[in-house]
Amino acid sequence: MRGAVISPDGAVVPPGYGPDPVPAGRKAGAVLDAATLLLGNAQRLLDDHSRAVTCVRDAFHPLQQELVGVELGAIPLSRLKEVTAGRLRLGALEQAGLTSVREVHEAGRHALRQLPGVGAHTADQAVAAAGRIAEAVGETVSVRIDVDHPEPRTTALVAALHRLVGAGPGLRRAHDTADRLGTRLRGLLPEAEPARGRLRMALSGRDRRARALGAADRIRGLLDEAAEADVPLLLAQVSADLLREPASEIECWVDFELRSAEYYSLLAETVGSAPDLASSEGFIPSEIAGRVRAQQLDDTRLRVSLRGYQSFGARFALAQRRVIIGDEMGLGKTVQAIAALAHLAARGGTHFMVVCPNSVLINWTREIGTRSTLRAIPVHGPERQEAFSEWREGGGVAVTTFDSLHTLPLPRHGQPEPAVREAGKPRPAGPEPAGPHMLVVDEAHYVKNPDTRRSRAMSGWTEQAGHVLFLTGTPMENRVAEFRSLIRRLQPALAPDVQGIDAVAGSHAFRRAVAPAYLRRNQRDVLAELPALVQVDEWEELGADDLAAYREAVSAAHFMRMRRAAYARPETSAKLGRLRELVAEAAANELKVVVFSYFREVLAAVRQALGEGVFGPLSGDVPGARRQHTVDRFTAAPGHAVLLSQIQAGGIGLNMQAASVVILCEPQVKPTLEHQAVARAHRMGQVRPVHVHRLLTVDSLDQRLLDILADKNRLFDAYARRSDLAEATPDAIDVSDRDIARRIVEEEQLRLATGTGTNAPG
């Protein structure tokens, strides 16, 4: 019948009798043509990505094999016997002059069989054992790209990675979308093919027609979803980026130096050299890790690709709701927090808050705008109340400081929204949630003491927030009790399990008890590409003038004057003399230097000793925006430059990857201050080895302080880091800063009075 259509049940419906049941004829044909075109674009992107990945792997493999060869060359031949449980006979191989596993691995079966006394069985066993060792070594070696010594092979690798990095953060989303669409369309298109024409439908059986119409309908839904999410544009943009050739090798190297973290992240993802799963998940119990893995992470509002461990950290914050991420400095805690905020925003969240030290407020505002599509609103300074009102009315991320928080009105009492709504669903009727959907607290150890004003203000906001994320690389500085106070603030239900457990059962039980609220990863576990950290203690003799100043400070029992006595006479100071030598050496190599001291007077002496052209000093009374501006100018300066900073001002929050030489003018009472300061330079994004020089003097308090710091570091390792061996209890070494000062003063007074003992390094 002319003009008739086929209904889903196979009946012929004359024209004019009821609606067209589903797309058929030319309608269905247009839908299927559009789907075929989209499938082709998706497949082209997958093919382009596959070729780019192959280029990276081809460039990476010879570099990795060279490192494996070096490692195998250091492994004696006798280790082959261990791999074969003693079954392999090595006598003939040794008599032939073979001494290392590398020689066996490179020789191969045929060459070994030609050796006198080596039979086929021995040769096969030896090569197989060497291969197993080579595989194990291959999983441990790390290819580091030396930006200062480029050569053809590393240039090829950087150029291959440049194409993937240039595709931007949309690459992963485009690839996953193309893969998902391709799988679904390849299954649906053949099934929907009869719906292209009425004749095909008429010649198909009833079940076949029903399946074709259903498949066509599902394809239409897929096309609508793709159009709504701008998938065709995303695929086209990323494909164009993958096909774009770099202008030059120099462009690739410059881009690598600027964005090395992204290059190394893609390299690890591409060649499968990601860190051990347990390491990247902070060795938390399997039941918690499983819950976190099941947590989805919506990255549609992110502008940066996450590493695997960073994605896990963001999902940990979402799944566990009220937690501490205590990752070691330089692992990207900020971006993990932003990823969690972006997820909640993508699922309908509107109001978020970040509380941080004044020194990093500008950095947080920048990072939120650079790494996500969220709007950051600084709530600080004279106009903070107006900014706060703007945030309350329009939403976004309010970025404020610890000192400003108590001036902001708390949300009205009530329960925060229990969960963010799913994307696309309208907000339920009723009042807005009482507090922000997520509260992020950077350097959360600032509120470890519950009796301070800033801690009381923080408690009010944490009670009202839907999610709370504390960030700190130093969750406890001197006392395990301080760490417990943060845990109690987040998850009071854990307090009974944590209280007193350290003294009874040690660090393992303590970490298991706090696992639901605490995640920590260390650089050595998850950043295999991080350049070397070389730490050197520079010991000097006190000059006559400095020794006189030191004795005077000891006699007066003035601990702080004792610490800076080595700089009392700048013109004869041995420490300043060594510092000038180190800076001169860095200048000769065009390296940037950052100099840290606790004391402004010391930095003033350093500035005078070095002359003009020195940046800073950064200090506590320099506004955060000016600190960031100074760091930016230091970073942008061509070649050698020196930045001076008080360690408590510049050692937190600011990124100083441009510096590859760090000079500590004196040891610090708190080891965390030194860790934080060094981590400003030795962090993700650093492309050069970082050399840390700590200036020390013999026959002074420096050695005594180092001994005490070593004990405090062991406490931190046992409770705040992963440690399978340490079982220290805080009772043995838990001391406060005041205790340290009094103890050192008394010991130095006794030593100088009796003339016994020495503090020379041992």
**Helix, coil or strand: residue 274:** coil
Q: Which residues contact 230 (CB under 8 A, 6 or more apart)?
A: none
The rounded distance, in Å, linking the Cα atoms of 538 and 522 is 27
**Helix, coil or strand: residue 13:** strand
Tokens 């020195």 -> residue = 614
Q: 164 vs 265, which has greater pLDDT?
A: 164
Neighbours of 201 (CB within 10 A): 22
Q: Which residues contact 583 (CB under 8 A, 6 or more apart)?
A: 593, 610, 642, 663
Read off the pLDDT of residues 309-323 as tens digits, 9 standing for 90 and up: 899 999 999 999 999
Q: What mean pLDDT comes out for the span 73-100?
A: 84
Read off the pLDDT of residues 36-68 as tens digits, 9 standing for 90 and up: 999 999 999 999 999 999 999 999 999 989 988
- Give the pLDDT of residue 385: 93
Check pLDDT > 50 for residue 22. Answer: no
pLDDT band for 433, please (50, 70, 90 cuts).
very low
- Give the pLDDT of residue 701: 87
Q: Token pair of 564, please?
A: 């800076």
Q: Which residues contact 199 (CB under 8 A, 6 or more apart)?
A: none
Read off the pLDDT of residues 144-160 as tens digits, 9 standing for 90 and up: 888 778 899 999 999 99
The rounded distance, in Å, linking the Cα atoms of 653 and 647 is 12
The rounded distance, in Å, linking the Cα atoms of 101 and 71 is 9
Closest CA to 312 of 302, 329, 327: 327
Neighbours of 50 (CB within 10 A): 12
3-class SS string, 75-104: CECCHHHHHCCCCCCCHHHHHCCCCEHHHH
Tokens 């360690």 -> residue = 647
Q: Which fold has domain 276-413+434-525?
A: Rossmann fold (3.40.50)
Read off the pLDDT of residues 443-501 as tens digits, 9 standing for 90 and up: 888 887 777 888 888 988 998 899 999 998 765 544 567 777 788 888 888 766 666 55
Give ranges for CATH 3.40.50.300 in the chain: 531-754
Q: Token pair of 494, please?
A: 């854990």
For the whole prediction, is pTM greater than 0.75? no
Residues 254, 151 contacting (CB under 8 angstroms): no
Q: What is the largest CA-CA distance in the chain?
A: 119
Q: Token pair of 722, please?
A: 């992963």
**Helix, coil or strand: residue 402:** helix
Give ranges for CATH 3.40.50.10810 in the chain: 276-413+434-525
The rounded distance, in Å, linking the Cα atoms of 703 and 697 is 8
The rounded distance, in Å, linking the Cα atoms of 620 and 597 is 12
Check pLDDT > 70 for residue 242. Answer: yes
Considering the domain 531-754 in this protein, what is its CATH number?
A: 3.40.50.300
Q: What per-residue string of b and e applies to 671-706 under the rule 16 or more CB within 10 Å gives b? A: bbbbbbbbbbbbbbbbbbbbbbbbbbbebbbbbbbb
